[in-house]
Amino acid sequence: MQDLPHRYVVTANAAGAENVVLSSDGIPDLETAGPPQFGGPGDVWSPETLLVGAVSDCFVLSFRAVARKARLDWVTLTATADGTLDKVDGFTRFTSFAITAQLTIPPGTSESKATAVMQKAEKYCLITKSLQAESTLETSVRVEDAAANA
């Protein structure tokens, strides 16, 4: 990892009512628009879906790092983030993020260790820790069927 602080630069370009194009050096451009809830088309990412996506993505990436350090063997992880947008003190903002994470581990792997690693990943996710909204985590662990690998 590079020394802190890190900087991330993203440019948003728009022409009239066309979709906004996000760009950053070295990665593909991404089209965005307002979500359907705000009158947008609903067929491209919106700032709201990007933020909620960043929460679930950060959880998975944080989990990978924590699992590697903890030497936890795992097969798959699916993390779904559900962000709630509401009006608070006259401002519209995200008020909570609920992460539902389902982890599949190989037979013989400790379920309690797997759950602890997921909880630690949520604790150290820099995206949720950078937001003022409350963040919660719901986890489930499934042991892979040993017969399926035979």
- The strand pair at 27-32 and 76-88 is best described as unpaired
**In-domain check, residue 4:** no
Q: How many CB atoms lie within 10 A of CB 4?
A: 5
**In-domain check, residue 56:** yes
pLDDT bin (cut points 50, 70, 90) of residue 149 is low
The answer to whether 55 and 81 have CB atoms below 8 angstroms apart is: yes
Work out the average pLDDT over 37-46.
Answer: 94
> What are the CA-CA distances from residue 38 to residues 33, 46, 110, 130, 142 (Å)?
10, 10, 45, 25, 38
Domain that holds residue 62: 51-149
CATH number at residue 129: 3.30.300.20
Work out the average pLDDT over 126-149.
Answer: 84
**In-domain check, residue 115:** yes
Q: Which residue has the higher pLDDT, 137 or 113?
A: 113
Q: What is the pLDDT of residues 48-67, one digit of tens each?
A: 999 999 999 999 999 999 99
Q: Specify the number of domains making up the chain.
A: 1
Is residue 147 pLDDT above 90, yes or no? no
Is residue 129 pLDDT above 80, yes or no? yes
pLDDT attached to residue 86: 96
d(CA 84, CA 20): 23
**In-domain check, residue 134:** yes
DSSP 7: -
Mean pLDDT of the chain: 94
Token pair for residue 130? 């950078």
**In-domain check, residue 5:** no
d(CA 46, CA 20): 9
**In-domain check, residue 8:** no
**In-domain check, residue 142:** yes
Q: What is the pLDDT of residues 65-111, one digit of tens each?
A: 999 999 999 999 999 999 999 999 999 999 999 999 999 999 999 99
**In-domain check, residue 62:** yes
